[in-house]
């Protein structure tokens, strides 16, 4: 099997798949708007909740997560089960979501797609991290805080639960992605000005 078939093709497919923005599509279909110009300006499930409501937000969350799962399975099918290729495909899907080629490289923050990727690569660590994230969101109403905790815990739990080295490094890169994409949220959290679930819609 050639290098291109084993690595380049599945990674490219995963990136193109990840670049599909269901939040953007929902905004166009339901209200004829570019959701990136409304609410927080982010093309993701949380901003979909703010701008379009619960139903579309749940659909976007599920579909964005499924992109990550599908990317892993694409890597598995084409490479014949290479953990490295699967991890790289997962990363490619999240890069696509964050910097989508179809939408001027202006996408979301990648948490839902990260959930799909890591739940497929490392289910148990993802479940533990997910419980902590959900509890944080329930008690603080800060989705960004839960997202950051989820991302930060993934490499720690993956390492101590003995997941493959490729999965650990992928989870570490994903954590870096999450913190970089949430840097404005981190500043707002520190200042106490971050939006909470149910708060008034804000303009970007």
Give residue-wise pLDDT tens across range 14-23. Answer: 999 999 999 9
Over 70: is that where the pLDDT of 200 sits? no
- Contact (Cβ atoms closer than 8 angstroms) between residue 114 and residue 98: no
Query: Can you say whether the dihedral through the CA atoms of 152, 154, 158, 161 is positive or negative?
Result: positive
Domain edges within the chain: 3-191
Please give the C-alpha separations between residue 195 and each of 7, 41, 51, 133, 184, in angstroms, as whole numbers.
Answer: 40, 13, 13, 17, 12
d(CA 153, CA 130): 9
- Contact (Cβ atoms closer than 8 angstroms) between residue 175 and residue 165: no
Share of the chain above pLDDT 90, in %: 85
pLDDT of residue 176: 95
- Contact (Cβ atoms closer than 8 angstroms) between residue 44 and residue 23: yes
- Residues 6 or more apart whose CB falls under 8 angstroms from that of 146 comprise 133, 134, 136, 137, 140
- What pTM does this model have? 0.89
Q: To which H or E segment does residue 200 belong?
A: none
pLDDT of residue 202: 45
pLDDT band for position 196 (50/70/90)? confident
């Amino acid at each position: 099997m050639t290098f291109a078939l084993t690595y380049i093709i599945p990674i490219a497919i995963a990136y193109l798949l990840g670049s599909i923005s269901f939040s953007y599509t929902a905004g166009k279909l339901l209200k004829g708007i570019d959701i990136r110009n409304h609410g927080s300006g982010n093309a993701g499930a949380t901003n979909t909740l703010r701008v379009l409501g619960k139903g579309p937000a749940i659909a976007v969350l599920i579909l964005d997560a499924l992109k990550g799962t599908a990317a892993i399975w694409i890597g598995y099918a084409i490479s014949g089960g290479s953990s490295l290729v699967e991890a790289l495909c997962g990363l490619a899907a999240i890069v696509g979501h964050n910097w989508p080629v179809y939408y001027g490289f202006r996408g979301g923050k990648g948490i839902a797609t990260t959930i799909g990727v890591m739940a497929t690569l490392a289910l148990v660590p993802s479940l533990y991290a997910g419980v902590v994230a959900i509890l944080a969101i329930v008690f603080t109403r800060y989705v960004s805080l839960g997202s950051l905790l989820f991302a930060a815990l993934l490499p720690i739990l993956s390492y101590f639960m003995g997941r493959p080295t490729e999965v650990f490094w992928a989870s570490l890169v994903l954590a870096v992605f999450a913190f970089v994409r949430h840097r404005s949220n981190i500043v707002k959290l520190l200042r106490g000005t971050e939006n909470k679930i149910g708060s008034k819609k804000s303009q970007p």
